[in-house]
Amino acid sequence: MRKNILITVLALLVFALPVLAAVTDFTADGNIVVSGVTLYGGSTTDNLLILDTSTSESFNFASGVFTVTNPGSAFKVGSAESTVKSVYVLKSGVEVACATNPTPGTSYVTLPTTAADYIVYPSTATGFATTDCCSSVSQAATYNAFPTCGPATCISGYYVSGASCVQIAGGGVSGSSGSGGSSSVTNIGLVSMPTTATGQVTATAAGGGKTTLTTPAGATATVQLPINAVSSDTVITITQVADTAAAIANEVAAVPATLLMVGNSIYSFSAMSGTTNITAFNQNITLTFTYTDAQIAGLAESALTVYYWNTATSAWTALTTTVNAATNTLTVTTNHFTDFAILGSPGQDIPEGALIRAINDIDVYIVKYMGSKQFKRLILSPSVFNSYEHLKWGDVLDVDKSVVDSFTTSELVRTVNDTKVYKLYPAGDTGQKRWVQTAEGFNRMGFDWDAIYEINAVDRNSYVTGANIE
């Protein structure tokens, strides 16, 4: 019979003796009690329970803090204590997961699988509307998942407005007052908010409207119009336009050189009332965008910003953007429609010597930095890749195409311990190399000395020899 394993902290006089329980490639063989964990937002402690078969790279318990590093696909934490009412999970100080504890010993929260350090806390907080610790909202029918929470939909006669459900006006009222001066009012003819997940919805003056477009990459764009944002029935449409489309060539060219377009996409929002194109609204509307982790690899997430295309100035203009890194969500408000895009600043998340590949592409590049310059070089074939013993296929980072495109392609190489510099001309898994014989020829061709990569002989010999560049 399996037994619970107990991890505890012993106290001797006023000196705490921390017990560290760090392991590598950890799998729980039975339930493990973590004793004396500091309560979330409190100073006292209670016990947590790592459930059987939970996996992670490691976990650590010291001075009342329980940390899990790089959880596996199902790292589950609960508590066998009836005094623990919920369990919170934080990443970098931000709440990312939570679960109530209605059945001590079997209820649990599952940690995210994104590689990171997560701190898990027991809590005495109660009174939630959902099992993932979302607080009750009056008139809410369903809720957004934690940590976003708030109403996803409202009961009939109410619509979602921010974190509340607001009664829809319209259709008139009837009522009566008694001798005590109180009144009874009944709303009739209430209109629900039209909501779709197709990227198109007919918004009304009385109900507003909401629609969400989901891209093939799994990103989304959502627009929500409050009541009276339009004066008559209006068809709202969101379309995703690839940055290679001729119709938006001017917009793509105008993206500042210091920024990258997330997802290589522009979202076009339009509104038609009959045959009339509506570009401005009676009230501010809310736009919400989500992105994938792969789309922002190499970008500074906290600096992501939604921009709109200013047709008057033919330039991109930034909107005040709320970034929720825990849910990969950006939120803005605006009173007009045009084209919108998410732009981000390159960060240093991709290190020197990293291997990168655009999502759904087969070409693998190796990265190098020279001051402010950043280069990538194509690895010609799997056999060339394997000739470099330090390169591992598991280290290849799949990133958004915009990140790959932000690196300048280098086709200048020289073999280790050889002074000859070659210009490469890849063609599939083969290609041609041409020796640049002189520095004068190198400079005349406008080549960049910083772009030269050192390669091995196998790599060099994979290219057939072409005419020299003199």
Which tens digits make up the pLDDT trace of 82-118?
999 999 999 999 999 999 999 999 999 999 999 999 9
Contact predicate 204/230, CB 8 Å:
yes
Query: Is it the case that residue 4 has pLDDT exceeding 70?
Result: no
In this prediction, what percent of the chain has a pLDDT beyond 70? 89
CB atoms within 10 A of CB 255: 18
Read off the tokens for 52: 């059987």
Q: How many angstroms separate the CA atoms of 411 and 398, rounded?
A: 22
Q: Which pLDDT does position 169 carry in this prediction?
A: 54
Q: Which pLDDT does position 265 carry in this prediction?
A: 87
Tally the residues of the chain. Answer: 470
Average of per-residue pLDDT across 438-466: 94
pTM of the model: 0.42
Query: Is it the case that residue 180 has pLDDT exceeding 50?
Result: no
Q: pLDDT (tens digit, 9 = 90+) per residue, 405-425?
A: 888 999 999 999 999 999 999
Q: pLDDT (tens digit, 9 = 90+) per residue, 276-299?
A: 999 889 889 999 999 998 888 878
Which of 182-191, 318-327, 343-352, 449-458 shows the lowest per-residue confidence on average (mean pLDDT)?
Answer: 182-191
Q: pLDDT (tens digit, 9 = 90+) per residue, 41-92?
A: 888 999 999 999 999 999 999 999 999 999 998 999 999 999 999 999 999 9
Q: What is the mean pLDDT of the chain?
A: 85
Average of per-residue pLDDT across 261-277: 91
Which residue shows structure tokens 């061709």?
445
Q: Could you tell me which residue, 9 or 221, shows the higher pLDDT? A: 221
Specify the pairing of strand 276-277 against strand 265-273.
antiparallel
Burial 172-211 (b: 16+ CB within 10 A, else e): eeeeeeeeeeeeeeeeeebbbbbbeeebebbbbbbbbbbb
Query: Is it the case that residue 161 has pLDDT exceeding 90?
Result: no
Contact predicate 240/200, CB 8 Å:
no
Looking at CATH, the fold of the domain delimited by 193-344 is given as Chondroitinase Ac; Chain A, domain 3 (2.60.220)
Q: Which pLDDT does position 173 carry in this prediction?
A: 34
Task: Tell me the sheet residues that pair with 399.
Answer: 358
In the chain, where the domains are located: 5-123, 135-167, 193-344, 355-465
Read off the tokens for 369: 């930095």
Per-residue three-class SS string for the chain: CCCCEEECCEEECCEEECCCCCCCCEECCCCEEEEEEECCCCCCEEEEEECCCCEEEEEEEECCEEEEEEECCCCEEECCCCCCCEEEEEECCEEEEEEECCCCCCCCEECCCCCCEEEEEEECCCCECCCCCCECCCCEEEECCCCCCCEEEECCCEEEECCEEEECCCCCEEEEECCCCCEEEEECCCCCCCEECCCEEEEECCCEEEEEEECCCCCEEEEEECCCCCCCCEEEEEEEEECCCHHHHHHHHCCCCCCEEHHHEEEEEEEEECCEECCEEEEEEEEEEECCCHHHCCECHHHCEEEEEECCCCEEEECCCEEECCCCEEEEEEEECCEEEEEECECCCCCCCCEEEECCCCCCEEEEEECCEEEEEECCCHHHHHHCCCCCHHHEEEECHHHHHCCEECCEEEECCCCCEEEEEEECCEEEEEEECCHHHHHHCCCCHHHCEEECHHHHHCCEECCCEC
Average of per-residue pLDDT across 119-143: 91
